[in-house]
A and B are shown apart, each in its own frame.
Chain A
């Protein structure tokens, strides 16, 4: 149980493109979903926390207009990187949790902006 699916796993696109990443909890309803960014050989950096039906809470230094998060249902959250530039290239990982339970992670999306 507690499977989290993230799609796509790999994106390569041109600078200026907007990219949408989906995160789904397949076998449970997630009260909270989280979005992380991970640089090579670094730990995970929390970008934002998202509760179903409410606005996401962004960490300090994360631009909310750049990284749009939508959490429309208890099983789906999306992260849209708007007008992506090469410095946005990274490994983006989502996680989902139910109240009182640990976070379960998706397999990440490797984003490369040319």
Chain B
């Protein structure tokens, strides 16, 4: 079993839809959780960063962490064509220094159709 599982999609939705992206993990030592967005031929861009169970909201994006179930989600409200990208979940055991190695999911390719 891989440490982080993420459905690679592809996921195609109409503009304005609510998008739900998910990752599960097996390592209970993971404490920090991130979502990155990666456009084609670009580096990943940090969207959300959290280290506690519960919800964190930033504009149209909501990150949800459930440490008891080892499950994280990213919700995108009112999705736009510009949200079309690959979304990567990432997690680590600690922050800073060598403890901050990230373990990535495979990424989910999202297309938002106008």
Footprint of B on A, CB under 8 Å? 2, 4, 6, 31-32, 34, 42-44, 46, 49, 51, 57, 91, 93, 95, 97-108, 110
Contacts and interface: CB of A to CB of B under 8 A. Distances in A.
Contact of B88 (A2, A43, A100, A101): A43
B14 interface: no
Contact of A31 (B96, B101, B102, B107): B96
B100 A32 contact: yes
Q: Is the interface of A mostly helix, strand, loop or mixed?
A: strand
Contact of B98 (A49, A91, A102, A108): A49
A111 B20 CA distance: 34
Given A102-B32, A102-B49, A105-B44, A43 B107 contact: yes
A100 B95 contact: yes
Contacts of B44: 44, 93, 105
A43 B42 contact: no
14 contacts: A32-B98, A43-B105, A44-B104, A57-B98, A97-B96, A100-B95, A101-B95, A102-B46, A102-B95, A103-B100, A105-B36, A105-B44, A107-B43, A108-B43
Contacts, number: 64
A106 B96 CA distance: 18
A95 B98 CA distance: 13
B34 interface: yes
A46 B102 contact: yes
A95 B104 CA distance: 14
B88 to A, nearest CB: 6
A99 B96 contact: yes
Nearest to B6: A43
B66 interface: no
